Amino acid sequence: MNEESSYWIAFSVFPGIGPVRFRLLREYFGTVKASWSATVSDLSKTGLGDKLVASFDKFRHEFDISGYQKKLEDLKVTALTLDDPRYPKRLHEISDAPIVLYVLGHGTKINLEKTIAIVGTRNVTPYGREVTKTITKELVNAGYTIVSGLAYGVDTVAHQTAIDEGGKTIAVLGCGIDISAPASNARLYRDIINGHGAIVSEMPLGLRPDKGLFVTRNRIISGLSRGIVVTEGAFDSGALITARFAAEQGRDVFAVPGPITSAYSKGTAKLLKNGAKLVESASDIIEEL
């Protein structure tokens, strides 16, 4: 890893500077190293604000870059910066692409040209489980890589079905990549990195799951994918947030209709009313793409 990349990684650990502010600093100072090493006075001129500059100055004097890199190496985590040619091209296109994408498993060897996200409710019903399995199986057999969030419910069904069908799957975490969350999916987490795909995250090592982080990670799920399928979800389901990101990113949004008597069909019904493409089988998705 070159010296410049090490500063990218250091910035990815600091919570106050995300993709937008990072881009501002890089453009202002010319390089990431120069941004990291800039004086407090020069940092203030970028408009970051005195509190943020003070917080960053304290962080950079205390942060052990080489020690953090050693942890990544020990865990066999690959850190892909936006400048790395291995960084997923489709994700690179979004306006707030992660500064660094942490990868565990075989992410750099997966065909990212044919990726579909499958998401939905954590409280999956028997109907939702059945349609998620069916559509995932059909997509995998058509050569697609399945992207989801490793959460309970639909996400778990999608990942597991992809593995059972001999396909590849990518799990995007809302926490540090070294944390298996939820704990009940620890085996699935291990199966994915041991030959069945990749775990990815933009979060630094050790960061615990948080509701706000799940919202942030949803843009990565859609950003990695050609399209997103919501198989089941309530009216206020987090899957609808992922669908919104997908629409903003220019991705296709697909939704599976469900029983009108089920609260967990309200979200997909909302998407269909707002222009999502109706899906009864994977062929509806494949034809559209």
Cα separation, 238 vs 220, in Å, equals: 14
Low-confidence spans in the chain with pLDDT less than 50:
none
- Which pLDDT score is estimated for 113? 85
Q: What is the pTM of this model?
A: 0.94
In sequence order, what are the beta bridge partners of 230? 119, 255
- Which pLDDT score is estimated for 237? 87
Cα separation, 170 vs 230, in Å, equals: 16
- 267: tokens are 């979200």
- 88: tokens are 């997923």
- Which pLDDT score is estimated for 272? 95
- Which pLDDT score is estimated for 119? 97
Cα separation, 143 vs 226, in Å, equals: 13
Cα separation, 144 vs 115, in Å, equals: 5
3-state secondary structure of 165: coil
Q: Supply the angle between the helices 126-141 and 154-164 in degrees, to the nearest 10.
A: 40
Q: Where are the beta strands (DSSP E) in the chain?
A: 78-81, 100-105, 115-120, 145-148, 169-172, 197-201, 227-232, 252-255, 277-278
- Which pLDDT score is estimated for 275? 94
- 200: tokens are 């990815």
In order of 15, 69, 81, 148, 229, the CA distances from 72 in angstroms are: 18, 5, 14, 23, 33
